[in-house]
């Protein structure tokens, strides 16, 4: 392990010179995680994103697994202004026609799980709209085609009487930020009102008030489903989707909207539960409250949690003194264990919906959504360091 860490440190050190333009690194402030500088964080971000884009074509589908990567890529672009990263997401959007599922027969539109074109109302086909909206906002010419499908689909959905669109935890990350982005784009509060109604349904379905965490969906609610030790089973990536989604939504929700108070309460309650569930080596196990159920590190949940904690500290809704040590540990895992010298991000649990006993998750295990989560965390870590350099909030 010592040799591996030294090789990664050497790789990051070389990239740090490129990122900072010189070999001199700024000294971290007292409140910054020990040994973490802005240059090192940017180097890790560039290492991971550069590897992903070199080894994966932009001509992949618009489904959730790939679309989640692009939410991280756009955050990395917003931080660095690297035009190659914006071009990569633009090429992906063009390849997919600025659309998700492509059926035009509204009578056939569904929102149960499905990977075919009629599942237009399924949130896993709507997360792509986050990136399309971001790219539209960056476009000086404001081409209507870039957001036309997002407006068509979401306006149709909001015109139905149904409120049960977000029936699984992942959907809160996939679609809640679409609603706040459309609100910011149009100024129309109806997007926030529907977000509130849909979130209330999801919250009563999946939130466990005692644990302060969300079940992945109704199948996993205790005691119908139990972990290996007979207790409640909360899936790390599922709660990662929710925690990160709440952070993204709180960033855009007006404080006078009723949804804000509820979202902030859930975000803070999750923070308490997640703080207690972190392992000594900085990661979270796949079953949050039962580490023995599926032991060992997992990157996607850990990265989403790291992003959420950093966002909370950066925006004054989580206490720095309490949470900075937690982030120091998780960031160390992400960059010294999960991130390989090549830039490959390992220990990402494959596509699934629960912690699976015996499933192999190792340094070779990677996926686009895991990289996207890491980019979110790295961008927010950079802002955290900047904030600390300016003194306490």
| Backbone φ and ψ of 248, nearest 5° | -65, -40
**pLDDT category, 200, cuts 50, 70, 90?**
very high
State the pTM of this model.
Answer: 0.92
Q: Is the per-residue pLDDT at 392 higher than 80? A: no
The pLDDT of residue 231 is above 80: yes
Does 133 fall in a domain? no
Model confidence at 389, in pLDDT bands (50, 70, 90)? confident
Q: Alpha carbon of 157 to those of 66, 122, 144, 153, 257: distances in Å? A: 23, 10, 20, 6, 21
The 10s digit of each residue's pLDDT in 106-151 is 999 999 999 999 999 999 999 999 999 999 999 999 999 999 999 9
Q: Is the pLDDT of residue 2 over 50?
A: no
* Residue 246 counted as domain residue: yes
Q: Is 295 a domain residue? A: yes
pLDDT digits (tens, 9 = 90+) for 161-199: 999 999 999 999 999 999 999 999 999 999 999 999 999
pLDDT of residue 215: 98
pLDDT of residue 36: 84
pLDDT digits (tens, 9 = 90+) for 262-295: 999 999 999 999 999 999 999 999 999 999 999 9
Instruction: Work out the end-to-end distance of the chain between its first and last CA atoms, rounded to an integer number of angstroms.
Output: 37
Flag whether pLDDT at 248 surpasses 80.
yes
Q: How many domains are there within the chain? A: 1
Determine the pLDDT at residue 391: 55
What confidence score (pLDDT) does residue 388 get?
Answer: 86
CATH number where 259 lies: 1.50.10.10
Query: How high is the pLDDT of residue 390?
Result: 65
Measured CA distances, 191 to 123, 144, 151, 171, 215 (Å): 15, 19, 11, 16, 25
- Is the Cα torsion angle 273, 274, 279, 282 positive or negative in sign? negative
Position 3 pLDDT exceeds 50: no
pLDDT tens digits, one per residue of 320-375: 999 999 999 999 999 999 999 999 999 999 999 999 999 999 999 999 999 999 99
Token duo for residue 336: 């010294």
Residue 7 belongs to a domain: yes
Average pLDDT of the chain, as a whole number: 92
Residue 105 has what pLDDT?
A: 98
Strand partners, 208: 213
CA dist., res. 342 & res. 366, Å (int): 13
pLDDT surpassing 50 at residue 223:
yes
How buried is residue 234: exposed, middle or buried, by Cβ count under 10 Å (0-12/13-18/19+)?
A: buried
Active site residue 82: no
pLDDT score recorded for residue 22: 32
How confident is the model over 6-49, as pLDDT tens digits? 344 444 444 443 333 333 233 334 444 545 899 999 999 999 99
369 is in which domain, residue-wise? 2-98+204-389
Q: What is the pLDDT of residue 35?
A: 52
pLDDT at 393 exceeding the cut of 90: no
Instruction: Give me the catalytic one of 139, 155, 164, 170.
Output: 170
- Name the region of 230 (left: φ>0; alpha: ψ -120 to 50; beta: rest): left
Please, is 327 exposed, middle or buried when counting C-beta atoms within 10 Å of its C-beta (0-12, 13-18, 19+)?
buried
- The token duo for 233 is 């089973």
């Amino acid at each position: 392990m010592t040799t591996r860490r030294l090789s990664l440190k050497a790789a990051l050190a070389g990239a740090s010179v490129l990122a900072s333009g010189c070999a001199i690194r700024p000294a971290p402030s007292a409140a910054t995680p020990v040994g973490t500088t802005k240059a090192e964080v940017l180097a890790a971000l560039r290492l991971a994103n550069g590897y992903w884009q070199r080894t994966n074509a932009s001509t992949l589908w618009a489904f959730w697994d790939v679309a989640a990567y692009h939410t991280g890529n756009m955050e990395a672009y917003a931080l660095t202004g690297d035009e190659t990263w914006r071009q990569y997401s633009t090429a992906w959007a063009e390849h997919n026609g600025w659309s998700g599922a492509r059926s035009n027969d509204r009578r056939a539109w569904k929102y149960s799980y499905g990977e075919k074109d009629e599942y237009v109302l399924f949130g896993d086909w709507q997360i792509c709209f986050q990136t399309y909206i971001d790219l539209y906002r960056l476009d000086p010419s404001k081409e209507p085609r870039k957001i036309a499908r997002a407006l068509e689909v979401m306006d149709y959905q909001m015109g139905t009487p149904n409120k049960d669109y977000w029936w699984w935890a992942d959907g809160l990350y996939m679609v809640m930020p679409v609603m706040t982005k459309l609100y910011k784009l149009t100024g129309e509060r109806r997007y926030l009102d529907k977000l509130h109604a849909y979130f209330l349904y999801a919250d009563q379905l999946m939130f466990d008030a005692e644990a302060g965490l969300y079940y992945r969906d109704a199948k996993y609610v205790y005691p119908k489903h139990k972990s290996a030790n007979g207790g409640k089973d909360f899936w790390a990536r599922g709660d990662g989707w929710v925690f990160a989604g709440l952070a993204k939504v709180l960033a855009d929700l007006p404080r006078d909207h009723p949804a804000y108070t509820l979202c902030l309460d859930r975000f803070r309650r999750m923070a308490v539960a997640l703080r207690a569930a972190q392992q000594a080596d900085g990661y979270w196990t796949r079953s949050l409250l039962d580490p023995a159920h599926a032991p060992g590190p997992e990157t996607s949940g850990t990265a989403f949690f790291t992003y959420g904690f950093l966002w909370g500290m950066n925006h004054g809704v989580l206490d720095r003194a309490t949470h900075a040590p937690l982030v120091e540990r998780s960031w160390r895992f992400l960059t010294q264990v999960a991130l390989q010298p090549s830039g490959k991000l390992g220990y990402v649990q494959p596509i699934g919906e629960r912690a699976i006993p015996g499933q192999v998750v190792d340094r070779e295990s990677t996926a686009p959504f895991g990289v996207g989560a890491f980019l979110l965390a790295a961008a927010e870590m950079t802002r955290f360091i900047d904030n600390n350099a300016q003194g306490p909030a």
